[in-house]
Structure 1
């Protein structure tokens, strides 16, 4: 999806007006789905493509897409260093799939010129589950999420090979060849998933993030 075609959302409900302002990085990837999920969770989502827009939000979602393309666009739009600075200053963030890769402190199997944000002390392996044809869905027990497992959609997904001190593992693959692989983590106010909760209609991971932003 070309995110630049997504119209800026408007907050037309009382819950959205009173909720936190959460940016969605709108350079490339599945922006529209995150915007819809955040709106349904009572947040006020706005698209972020410029430094001034980044400075106006309480938190940021980094969507799935192509991580190396997004990293190049962060440089082209002069957002890379401002985003690193906001993360260092404690801005809450949530990355799904490519967003997880961008938030890592170390990335394996990526281009040597790819950039990352070091928002979470973790090592992530890009495209760890294989190519597009290896995409799959499964149910994941997810720490902090009630009412049963989360339906997880993995599309050319990464996994986490190392977590640092202070990083909480929220979900691992329950079965199959990748059993035990880490696919959801949290460090302080920064959350990341290998999978795409925005495409399933299950809002519990987004609600967790919105609650985290409200608490911050």
Structure 2
């Protein structure tokens, strides 16, 4: 109910202020499981993608959003729970496997899953190396995987900014990627890396971002240390 309510009441505001445009909607299935693998340049990405789609999008959110203390923490947890987002512990030793299992459950229920292969927001608007969990999930579930690109949301709300700024936004969906081309291959680290790199190239073609062959998390740690 909250998800629908937000679309009904906030949708016109989002459309009027940011004027988001969308292309490639014909590629998004109207029903059944599918994976939207997109770039992640802003917290507002969580809002713009669902805004342009009629179907509900379920994202995997970090567990800290659900375990905060105090009034603000409880409100945040209630917000993410009401939206149907799934908590994932990113700090445990088996965090990657747990995230894949949770994502597989979402798809098994016939839902539309939103996932960010980079694993975190870009610190500077560029596209970073993808984590191989998206490849493992795709191979294990066989759900259609569509590349997705957010354009302009970094300018709306770059990392560290609480309040969004007015700026045009575009959301692009590409056609489903071909899973059959990997049939018969040994499922090992090399294959996972190859598939993930293919996915990131498809995202880059849509977004037009500069690509950095490094993990965004590593770059963030370097920036923090410096």
Which one has a larger percent strand, Structure 1 or Structure 2?
A: 1
Q: Same fold (TM over 0.5)?
A: no
Question: More helix by proportion, 1 or 2?
Answer: 2
Relative CO higher for 1 or 2, CA cutoff 8 Å, sep ≥ 6? 2
* Structure of larger gyration radius: 2
